[in-house]
Structure 1
Amino acid sequence: MPPVLLSTRPLARAARCHPHYPVLDFLAPRTIPHALHQKSRIHSTPPLDALANAANPGTKPPLTPSQRDFLDSALRVNQAGELAAVLIYSAQTPPLVRSHPHLRPLMQHMYDQEAGHFRIFNSLLAKHRVRPTLMYPVWHAAATALGWGTAVMGREAAMACTEAVETEIGGHYNEQVRVLLEWADKLDGRGELGDELRALIGELRRIRDEELEHLDHAVMNDSKDARPYELLTNVIRGGCRTAIWISEKV
């Protein structure tokens, strides 16, 4: 019986399997408040500029138009990606668990984490008045079909799907963290680093690490034994990159 991993150990295996995006800061403190998990009200919350609120409230908000555009597209893409992840696991679980009952705890564990990520980005989009992607119906159908199709192909194909998706998503979150850390360093030097930007960086780190944990689970549960592995993972990764690019724009 293949191993089913439910620990939150350091992600050494994921880093070894995918050295092209090193996990440089996953040991950083987690700073996100639990309040971000609660539903926000659009009319009572500030726009994106609050993410980098100056220490002196009377000063000009430090976010430039290009920075606001980056955050707008990042939050929109992240929400769409987490929607897709929830749908993939929802579609994979019934056929996969029927054939491999021992995978039920693992599938539930990964689904629960993705559902939590989705709630967080729903809250952030509402709080910061960011428009969701217009591609929602397309991504909904595509993610459901991908999840069901790979599960029907077998356990290894379903795990290869997780490996491919989380490789792209982990790298995407890592790039967002890198950019925001650069901003935070400059803002901190001017005494303008706000708590919300600091919290967002901490949240993205935590979510990224959980996504890479899913990648680790997939590899440990024989994702690389899928046939045809290279074709399957390359197609899925290409689809993820395309979906990310489109969601950033639309």
Structure 2
Amino acid sequence: MLAVLLLRSASAFRRTIHSAAPLASAAYTHPISPSDPAVSSTPDGLTVEQRRALDAALRIDQAGEVAANYIYKGQFAVLGRERATGALIQEMWDQEKKHLDVMNKLQVQHRVRPTVLWDAAKVAGFGLGALTGLMGREAAMACTEAVETVIGEHYDDQLKEMEDMAPSHPSMPLLKDVIREFRDDELEHLSIAVINDSQKAPAHALLSSVIGAGCMVAIELCKRI
């Protein structure tokens, strides 16, 4: 119960901070001008290497958000009836739904081919979520901790890679702000998992290592396929 109260306080504090300035994702979820080049065009002056890096980044991010949605869907299918745990999973899942909606719009805007592993990401995500849910609340939180650790680091790497990528085109500063926002959301999910006993899961170190390694393999596959 204390963990739930802490989470609600942290979430309320975070919403208060962001209320003064709109989130970057609002440009896609609540667009003021759909024809704004920042949300409707992609840079034309990128080098071949930069274009390849941008395509790979958005392909991975979109696939990752698909998998994340299905992980939480699987966990909720098993643990959703537990009042406190179900509420935690639902809150994180709702954020992931928004992430996927925005990534789908970015994929169209920047003319990126989605990964052919889309359906595999759904199946693997749901299976991982359901399996860790069946292992218990702590294991489900350990799954979240492991996944969000990898994703947080991955978003940081992307921001470094995009640092000098077409800074004068309005879509690129917005894209980087969206990635920062989503990184912060994922790290918040990591904190939620730790607060809610992820590290008390049976064989926590082994479970985290296996899930983390799986995430990194998935990233490399989606980058190429």
Q: Which runs of 5+ in 2 are unaligned?
A: 15-20
Runs of 4+ in 1 over 6 A off after TM superposition: none
- How far does residue 38 in structure 1 lie from its aligned partner after superposition? 6.6
Taking structure 2 as the reference length, what is the TM-score of the superposition?
Answer: 0.86
Question: Is the 2:142–2:207 Cα contact (8 Å) retained in structure 1?
Answer: yes
Taking structure 1 as the reference length, what is the TM-score of the superposition?
Answer: 0.77
Question: Is the 1:31–1:198 Cα contact (8 Å) retained in structure 2?
Answer: no
Q: Which amino acid aligns with 1:170?
A: G
* Number of equivalent positions: 211
Residue 89 (structure 1) aligned to one of 42, 66, 72: 72
> In the TM superposition, what are the counterparts of 1:1-250 in structure 2 within 5 Å?
1=1, 3-4=3-4, 5-6=7-8, 7-8=10-11, 32=24, 34-37=26-29, 50-52=41-43, 61-98=44-81, 100-183=82-165, 187=167, 193-250=168-225
Give the share of equivalent positions with the same residue, in percent.
43
TM-align CA RMSD: 2.5
- Aligned position for 1:19: none
Bigger relative CO (Cα 8 Å, ≥ 6 apart): 1
Question: Is the 2:165–2:172 Cα contact (8 Å) retained in structure 1?
Answer: no
Distance in 1, Cα, partners of 2:52 & 2:96 = 25
Residues 78-105 of structure 1: CA deviation (Å, up to 9, x unaligned)? 000000000010110132133x311232
Distance in 2, Cα, partners of 1:124 & 1:115 = 14
Residues 5-33 of structure 1: CA deviation (Å, up to 9, x unaligned)? 132467xxxxxxxxxxxxxxxxxx87736
Q: Is the helix fraction higher in 1 or 2?
A: 2
Q: Which runs of 5+ in 1 are unaligned?
A: 11-28, 53-60, 188-192
- Aligned position for 2:18: none
